[in-house]
Amino acid sequence: MIKKTLRKLISGGDSRLTRFHTEKNVFVGWKNLFSQVPIVCGQKIRNRLVGSRPIVPWWPLPAVEEVNKILHPGMVAVEFGSGSSTIWIARRVKSVVAREHDAKWAAITKKRIAAEGLLNCEVQHRQGDAYYGFAAGERFDFAVVDGEFRWKCIEELAGRMNPGGFIYFDNSDSDKDSKHYREFGLSTDDNLALEVVESLKQCGKITVEELHGMINGEAYAGSGMLIKF
């Protein structure tokens, strides 16, 4: 029992070496450790006292900082997955559509958007191929991939990003898609989303910046990728 408790305190309960390592066991670095841990600990305390999170993405802190730099009011955005990040993005771009596979969570996000009085964002409850498919002519300047069918989302977005556009791929150190592979007759244990990113990179279609750090409002580290077209 003591060993299990200590393991949870040190690693957060999963296979990572410590809370300061990503799921692929990349250490966030001493500089990030000393600068970011006080921030996320302060956020955790604040969240418990207030009973809710601030309207910021639940991404690694470096990812929030970098995405904040590139967003501007002329951008058309799409997000796979929804939540605080939907509102945060909507405040910085021309328009954003968020696709959500969970009906209850979609309803919660819609309610939060209405409470904020935002008119430039929409939440769509979609499942299956309707989740990642697009109509002819749809194009985007910015996208977030952090929901279902992540490899399919990146494949579809690859031909729909405007020149100079960006995809932020959250939780890139975790394979969230393995539960769906059998639906497509796939038996691989590899992270297919990362394989798609690597293929695009090898073709010279994108550049990739990996971002590691403590996750906003959480007491553990994570990874993301900023993909530029």
Looking at per-residue pLDDT, the higher value among 9 and 87 belongs to 87
Q: Which residues contact 140 (CB under 8 A, 6 or more apart)?
A: 76, 77, 78, 157, 160, 161, 162, 165
Q: At what angle do helices 192-202 and 150-158 cross, to 10 degrees?
A: 20
The amino acid sitting at 226 is L
Q: Which residues contact 169 (CB under 8 A, 6 or more apart)?
A: 145, 146, 150, 154, 193, 197, 224, 225, 226, 227
Residue pLDDT, tens place only, 202-216: 999 999 999 999 998
Q: Is residue 1 pLDDT above 80, yes or no?
A: no
Q: Percentage of the chain with pLDDT > 70? A: 94
Q: Band the pLDDT of 190: cuts 50, 70, 90.
A: confident
User: How much is the average pLDDT of 37-46?
Assistant: 89
- Helix H or strand E encompassing 66: helix 61-70
Give the least confident one: 9-13, 30-34, 175-179.
9-13
Backbone angles phi, psi at 40, to 5 degrees: -70, -35
The shares of helix, strand and coil residues in the chain, as percent rounded to the nearest 5, are 40, 25, 35
Say which CATH superfamily domain 55-211+218-228 falls into.
Vaccinia Virus protein VP39 (3.40.50.150)
Residue pLDDT, tens place only, 160-174: 999 999 999 999 988
Q: Which residues contact 105 (CB under 8 A, 6 or more apart)?
A: 82, 83
Give the integer Cα–Cα distance in Å for 214 and 211: 10
Q: How many residues comprise the chain?
A: 229
- In the chain, where are the structural domains located? 55-211+218-228
Q: Is residue 223 pLDDT above 70, yes or no?
A: yes
User: How much is the average pLDDT of 39-52?
Assistant: 86
Residue pLDDT, tens place only, 92-127: 999 999 999 999 999 999 999 999 999 999 999 999
pLDDT of the residue at 217: 83
Q: Which of 49-53, 126-130, 139-143, 189-193 has the highest mean pLDDT?
A: 139-143
Q: Percentage of the chain with pLDDT > 90? A: 76
DSSP state at residue 185: T
Q: Which residue has the tokens 């977030």?
A: 144
- Helix H or strand E encompassing 79: strand 76-80
Average pLDDT over the chain reads 92
Report whether 93 contacts 120 (CB < 8 A). yes
Residue pLDDT, tens place only, 177-188: 988 998 898 877
Q: Is residue 6 pLDDT above 70, yes or no?
A: no
pLDDT of the residue at 70: 97
